[in-house]
């Protein structure tokens, strides 16, 4: 394992984010505050408790997950797309570093940024609602696993994309709608019976449910299924990444 090369790429990616640290922190804080002003105060005050949890506190896991999905994808996709765009990707590919080490560096940096951002949102939310996390270790575990999985997904998008429009297409047109329909601001059990069954075809439901379970001890699906969903998603993305480096798909052309 070439730890020096991994650290060099990881440090470069992290330094790129530090230069825009102020914007990276202020934006989620302001966005989170607005969500709680609208959903927590204006709407939440009129909503009954959901599964025994105050509505303002209930939306916190979903709010963190929504931000985590898009941030992980954007960080990882832009991280690998820019070397492709500038042509410096060939220096990375010709260096004595394996595909696994390249992925560890880029995905590790993107996941680190997402985890930090998730903790910032959690801290911001604590000023608006009372949070009592039932399984704090599992909360951190889900935060890290989902950040890593979606960062790997973003890494694939960054290689696949031929332009900046394609970088934004999947997060905005697919991931965000799935997050909104995946129980970010409501419980799937609140839906009619037919739509509850339809919602279970949405993979994001399992991720949000597992993360919410770590907060309040209950979710829309068993936590074991949520863990399996994260593992399967990560495994599929890792297999696709291996195939990309094996074939050179949109890396060597």
pLDDT per residue over 188-243, tens digit each?
Answer: 988 899 989 999 999 999 999 999 999 999 989 999 999 999 999 999 999 999 99
pLDDT digits (tens, 9 = 90+) for 147-163: 999 999 999 999 998 88
pLDDT of residue 84: 86
- Specify whether the CB–CB gap between 130 and 57 falls below 8 A: yes
Flag whether 60 is in a domain.
Answer: yes
Flag whether 159 is in a domain.
Answer: yes
Flag whether 252 is in a domain.
Answer: no
pLDDT of residue 145: 95
pLDDT of residue 44: 65
List, in order, residues 6 or more apart from 250 with CB less than 8 Å away: 84, 159, 160, 162, 244
Candidates 68, 87, 76, 202; CA nearest to 146 is: 68
Flag whether 205 is in a domain.
Answer: yes
Flag whether 14 is in a domain.
Answer: yes
pLDDT of residue 154: 94
Question: What does the block give as tokens for 38?
Answer: 């609208």
Q: Provide the number of structural domains found in the chain.
A: 1
Q: Which residues of the chain have pLDDT under 70?
A: 21-24, 40-42, 44-45, 252-253
pTM for the complete prediction? 0.91
d(CA 129, CA 27): 20
Flag whether 253 is in a domain.
Answer: no
Candidates 181, 154, 146, 149; CA nearest to 170 is: 154
Candidates 101, 75, 77; CA nearest to 5 is: 101
Q: Which domain holds residue 61?
A: 3-247
């Amino acid at each position: 394992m070439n730890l020096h090369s991994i650290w060099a790429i990881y440090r470069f990616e992290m330094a790129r984010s530090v230069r825009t640290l102020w914007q990276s922190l202020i934006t989620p804080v302001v966005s989170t505050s607005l969500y709680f002003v609208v959903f927590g105060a204006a709407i939440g005050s009129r909503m009954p408790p959901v599964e025994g949890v105050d509505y303002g506190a209930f939306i916190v896991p979903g709010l963190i997950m929504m931000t985590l999905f898009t941030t992980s994808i954007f960080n990882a996709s832009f991280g690998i797309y820019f070397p492709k765009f500038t042509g410096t990707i060939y220096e990375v590919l010709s260096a004595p570093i394996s595909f696994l080490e390249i992925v560890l560096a880029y995905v590790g940096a993107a996941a680190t940024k997402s985890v930090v951002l998730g903790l910032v949102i959690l801290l911001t939310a604590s000023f608006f609602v009372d949070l009592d996390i039932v399984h704090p270790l599992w909360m951190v575990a889900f935060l890290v696993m989902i950040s890593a999985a979606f960062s790997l997904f973003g890494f694939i998008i960054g290689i696949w994309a031929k332009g900046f429009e394609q970088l934004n297409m999947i997060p905005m047109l697919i991931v965000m709608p799935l997050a909104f329909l995946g129980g970010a601001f409501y419980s799937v059990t609140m839906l009619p019976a037919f739509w509850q069954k339809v919602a279970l075809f949405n993979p994001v439901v399992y991720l949000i449910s597992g993360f919410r379970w770590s907060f309040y001890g209950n979710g829309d699906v068993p936590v074991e299924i949520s863990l399996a969903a994260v593992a399967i998603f990560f495994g599929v993305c890792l297999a696709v990444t291996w195939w990309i480096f094996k074939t050179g798909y949109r890396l060597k052309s």
